[in-house]
Amino acid sequence: MNHFHRPENFDLEAVRRKVSEIQSRDRAAATDDENSGSPELNSFARRIAAQFRETSYSPSMILGQIRLLEFLVLFAIGLGVHTFYWGRDVLGSPVSLGVMALGTALAVLLLQIVDAYQVQSLRGPLRALPRILGAWAISFALMALALFLLKSGDQYSRLWFVTWFGVGAVYLIVERKLLGDAFCRWGRNGIMERRAVIIGGGDPAKNLIRALEQQPDNDIRICGIFDDRDDSRSPSMVAGYPKLGTIAELVEFARLASIDMLIISLPLSAEGRILQMLRKLWVLPVDIRLAAHANKLRFRPRSYSHVGAVPMLDIFDKPIRDWDSVAKRIFDITFSLIALALLWPVMIGAAIAVKATSKGPVFFIQKRHGFNNEIINVFKFRSMYTDMGDPTARKAVTKGDPRVTPVGRFIRKSSIDELPQLFNVLRGELSLVGPRPHAVLAQTHDRLFVDVVEGYFARHRVKPGVTGWAQINGWRGEVDNDDKIKFRTAYDLYYIENWSLLFDLKILFLTPIRLLNTENAY
């Protein structure tokens, strides 16, 4: 079965005509925009991006959920059979519960060892069935051996043991058949896929696409091709897929569409061109791979990832992905609720003080850059006089700034004005820990931050945070010179590359201590 995908409503001839028309019309405008540093994506590419706006389900996330489901159901079967036969309150027997839990965990581990949690195994359940039932049987054999060696076998009924095995086996057969049908349906409907963009055109791109098409377990959907070369060297259609624009335009495309992977289809000998591309593309929160199927030079196996049998050199990985993102979200919700439970008197007091001492709303809402450079509305307690507020943050707050109210000066120094951002965290727009979100037009010396720091937008590869590594290291408050934003960005990038939950916990607990230093907070 071929699981290679083209965009929905795909009409090859119509697309070819449309691409030629739009590229001719937009080439001059795109050239001007690229020279100005802000390329405008052509209308055809925008329509393609709109098809892929909704996030797809990551295969690794679904596989993790299947592992958890099978553990819970197989454990429940053992518990249910025990209760059905003897009517005993097994919940009062920690030893019996422990045996069932360990036995079920062993079964899931063995299923993992025999590759029963690979996409190809789930798509072809009949082929994988002998391995699945074999792993289930081996887990029971090992449990029986352990009980025999511990001289505990007489404490457990053989009838319960055999019935648990039989019912569990039937469940696995039925469940895997249903999952096989679901996986094929999800693949056709685009629910479970990895969306990729090919970088580079001509024969290398065509050969890569053909190689991917031949993979029976391919979960890649190609959304389009981007290449800086003109049509004479890089045709507008490659293997039935349209060239949507230049590399600079790809950055905007990847922010509009939910893209998982960029695949560079260039030979390793084109080192200069690859490096030039990576300088533009590494700011995106996606996997970046270099297709290695046509390269004769070989590296260590751990350097590669694969789509079927097609090798890819791993250049960049998306930070905080899949189950890490789930763990971080649970972390954010848990500690945000704890913070609200502890700090609500402070927040109510701040709201009363703001409202009682100056006219205007309690809250100040400012547009800032969020994950993947999206614009979000960030909440703060209002610290300026209403008629002097600066939603764009073009003019940074300085020491003794007359725009700041007396109450505002206190809540800014103590960072109490940031507490409403806990609601942004619960809404999923911010994380508790991450690079601080900057206002859209924030600048230093009349230059936007992006013009000061190369790769500035790379700090948006993860959700911004209420607090961050830069802030607890003293880089907070006014940005009145280039070095301050450069150091902030450097600390933010270090955080992204070294993220862990323990790192988040360290930053979170150091934040109240480091906030006592109010030297740069006005």
Q: What is the CATH number of the domain that holds 304?
A: 3.40.50.720
d(CA 7, CA 420): 42
Judge contact between 390 and 403, C-beta under 8 A: yes
- Are residue 429 and residue 395 in the same domain, yes or no? yes
Last residue of a domain, one of 153, 169, 189: 189
Judge contact between 484 and 453, C-beta under 8 A: no
Give a yes or no: residue 275 inside a domain. Answer: yes
- Are residue 437 and residue 356 in the same domain, yes or no? yes
Give a yes or no: residue 355 inside a domain. Answer: yes
Give a yes or no: residue 341 inside a domain. Answer: yes
Give a yes or no: residue 198 inside a domain. Answer: yes
**SS3 of residue 57 by DSSP:** strand
- Are residue 466 and residue 356 in the same domain, yes or no? yes
Give a yes or no: residue 67 inside a domain. Answer: yes
Last residue of a domain, one of 174, 189, 204: 189
Which residues does 451 contact at the CB level (< 8 Å), separation at least 6?
Answer: none
Last residue of a domain, one of 143, 167, 189: 189
The residue ranges of the chain whose pLDDT is under 70 are: 1-39, 86-93, 150-156, 187-190, 216-217, 231-232, 293-304, 308, 390, 392-396, 398, 445, 477-480, 516-522
Residue type, 164: W
Note the pLDDT tens digit of each residue in 265-274: 887 777 788 8
Give a yes or no: residue 520 inside a domain. Answer: no
Q: Is the dihedral of CA 101, 107, 110, 112 positive or negative?
A: negative
pTM value?
0.74
- Are residue 235 and residue 374 in the same domain, yes or no? no
Check residue 480 and give its pLDDT: 66
d(CA 357, CA 167): 70
- How many other CB atoms are found less than 10 A from the CB of residue 34? 17
- Are residue 287 and residue 349 in the same domain, yes or no? no
d(CA 157, CA 86): 10
Q: Determine the structural domain holding residue 468 and report its residue range.
A: 322-514
- Are residue 267 and residue 377 in the same domain, yes or no? no
d(CA 229, CA 204): 14
Tokens of residue 450, six digits: 């992006």
- Are residue 251 and residue 334 in the same domain, yes or no? no
Q: Is the dihedral of CA 499, 501, 506, 509 positive or negative?
A: positive
d(CA 392, CA 367): 7
Check residue 13 and give its pLDDT: 54
Look-up: residue for tokens 């329509």?
47
Give a yes or no: residue 12 inside a domain. Answer: no
- Are residue 285 and residue 327 in the same domain, yes or no? no
Q: How many domains does the chain have?
A: 3
Check residue 8 and give its pLDDT: 45
Give a yes or no: residue 378 inside a domain. Answer: yes
Check residue 19 and give its pLDDT: 46
Q: What's the half-sphere exposure (Cβ side, CA atoms, 13 Å) at 5?
A: 25
- Are residue 372 and residue 421 in the same domain, yes or no? yes
Look-up: residue for tokens 């739009």?
22
Check residue 520 and give its pLDDT: 58
Check residue 89 and give its pLDDT: 58
Judge contact between 81 and 103, C-beta under 8 A: no
- Are residue 105 and residue 239 in the same domain, yes or no? no
DSSP code string of 188-210: HHTSB-EEEEEES-HHHHHHHHH
Check residue 254 and give its pLDDT: 85
d(CA 242, CA 238): 6
- Are residue 174 and residue 208 in the same domain, yes or no? no
Judge contact between 205 and 172, C-beta under 8 A: no
- Are residue 442 and residue 347 in the same domain, yes or no? yes
Q: What's the half-sphere exposure (Cβ side, CA atoms, 13 Å) at 137?
A: 6
Nearest one of 299, 103, 124 to 217, comparing CA atoms: 124
